[in-house]
């Protein structure tokens, strides 16, 4: 039977009509009747695991699920292993009626396994909580809402992991890691402000889904900023500098008018003659990439010259040109760029011919 796949935390889920009692009060109390009596023993055992089978992980997941009041809503649990903790997720297969199946995608390393499984179940737990009022239609999505979506994922993760810590369950995603991940995403704010927002989110207590989404779009609503915070702090300037490193800005900042014109000539030639080439900035350099292959780089750090390096993947040789205001080899460089691009493009086409499924088939 084919079902609908819903993934947490990156995607939403569906709602069932559920509980006669507020389930949030149940999960926040590890000493009530819903918590498995073998909680401490299981936690102690998994802390010392080195490598366990998928069947053992499935059984552990079932034991953990039995400590939650959503146990009767989950039918089968499947486990998939991945190489990174950042790829962990819980996926539910939606069916029209009755219990659902759950797939846990778990890091192969078994450290903090109990806590990592427990936290994944909390995403399902929240989505099924009537008080949480989950509504997948309101989840930020698309390029226009990418920052709100990033905030949304972090806020829900903070909500999950703060409860795991309050329960005394050791987890890979502890408060320190959560704080660092959150602050790293708020490059437009001073670190002191980002930390203040994190503490407010971590200690908030309960959330509704609507609150999470509101905060995702308006982080300033989490807390009134402290008047002592300097919003012109140097870390904001660093963040602006990094975010404004586009290829155009780098070229515009070249002091020499002649070198600036030469840089634009090379970029415009590549745009016109090397279809599909990505031209991007990397700190003070500009790189030219096609099909994940960087084949040219332009460095603008010298005040009196451009350094243009070409990477020929076939010969495995690099060549660097020093271009000054009076250089007469611009056409040579442009033709060399075109030759290397053609080789990469032909190689890419051959790969598709050998493996026609490497590209999407339009229906």
C-alpha span between 265 and 281 (Å, rounded): 17
42: pLDDT strictly greater than 50: no
Mean residue pLDDT of the chain comes to: 77
The pLDDT of 224-233, averaged and rounded, is: 52
Q: Which of 128-142, 267-281, 348-362 has the lowest mean pLDDT?
A: 348-362
Domain boundary, last residue among 187, 222, 257: 222
Query: 83: domain range?
Result: 4-133
Do residues 127 and 9 both lie within one domain? yes
Whether 28 is covered by a domain: the verdict is: yes
Do residues 59 and 154 both lie within one domain? no
Dihedral sign from CA coordinates of 81, 86, 87, 88: positive
Do residues 165 and 264 both lie within one domain? no
If pLDDT is split at 50, 70 and 90, which confidence band does 20 have? very low
Do residues 102 and 40 both lie within one domain? yes
Structure tokens at 30: 């590890």
Domain count, the chain: 3
Do residues 254 and 292 both lie within one domain? yes
The pLDDT of 169-194, averaged and rounded, is: 86
Whether 85 is covered by a domain: the verdict is: yes
Do residues 71 and 168 both lie within one domain? no
Do residues 127 and 25 both lie within one domain? yes
Whether 184 is covered by a domain: the verdict is: yes
Domain boundary, last residue among 133, 155, 178: 133
Length reported for the chain:
363
Domain boundary, last residue among 101, 133, 165: 133
Do residues 49 and 22 both lie within one domain? yes
Structure tokens at 203: 């200690």
pLDDT at 287: 87
Residues in a beta bridge with 100: 74
The pLDDT of 84-101, averaged and rounded, is: 79
pLDDT at 28: 36
Kindly report the pTM of this predicted structure: 0.53
Q: What percent of the chain has pLDDT over 70?
A: 74
Best mean pLDDT range from 45-59, 267-281, 282-296, 322-336 = 322-336
Angle CA(183)–CA(187)–CA(189) in degrees, nearest 5?
85
31: pLDDT strictly greater than 60: no
């Amino acid at each position: 039977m084919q079902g609908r796949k819903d993934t947490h935390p990156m995607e939403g889920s569906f709602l069932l009509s559920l509980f006669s009692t507020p389930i949030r009060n149940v999960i926040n109390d590890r000493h009530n009747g819903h918590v498995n009596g073998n909680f401490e023993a299981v936690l102690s055992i998994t802390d010392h695991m080195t490598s366990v089978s998928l069947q053992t992980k499935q059984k552990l997941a079932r034991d953990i699920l039995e400590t939650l009041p959503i146990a009767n809503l989950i039918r089968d649990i499947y486990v998939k292993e991945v190489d990174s903790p950042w790829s962990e997720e819980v996926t539910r297969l939606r069916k029209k009626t009755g219990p659902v199946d759950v797939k846990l995608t778990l890091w192969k390393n078994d450290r903090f396994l109990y806590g990592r499984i427990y936290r994944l179940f909390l995403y399902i737990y929240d989505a099924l909580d009537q008080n949480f009022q989950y509504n997948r239609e309101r989840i930020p999505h698309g390029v226009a809402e990418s920052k709100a979506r990033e905030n949304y994922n972090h806020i829900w993760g903070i909500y999950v992991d703060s409860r795991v810590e309050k329960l005394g369950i050791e987890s890979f995603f502890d408060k320190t890691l959560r704080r660092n991940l959150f602050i790293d995403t708020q490059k437009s704010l001073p670190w002191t402000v980002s930390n203040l927002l994190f503490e407010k989110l971590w200690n908030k207590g309960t959330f509704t889904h609507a609150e999470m989404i509101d905060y995702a779009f308006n982080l300033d609503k989490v807390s009134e900023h402290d008047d002592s915070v300097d919003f012109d702090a140097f870390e904001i300037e660093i963040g602006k500098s990094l975010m404004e490193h586009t290829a155009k800005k780098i070229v515009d900042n070249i002091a020499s008018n002649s070198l600036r014109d030469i840089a634009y000539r090379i970029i415009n030639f590549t745009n016109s003659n090397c279809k599909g080439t990505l031209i991007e900035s990397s700190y003070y350099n500009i790189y030219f990439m096609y099909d994940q292959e960087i084949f040219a780089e332009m460095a603008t750090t010298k005040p009196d010259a451009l350094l243009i390096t070409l990477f020929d993947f076939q010969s495995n040789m690099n060549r660097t040109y020093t271009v000054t205001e009076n250089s007469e080899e611009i056409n040579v460089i442009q033709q060399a760029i075109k030759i290397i691009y053609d080789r990469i493009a032909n190689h890419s086409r051959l790969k598709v011919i050998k493996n026609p499924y490497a590209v999407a088939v339009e229906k």
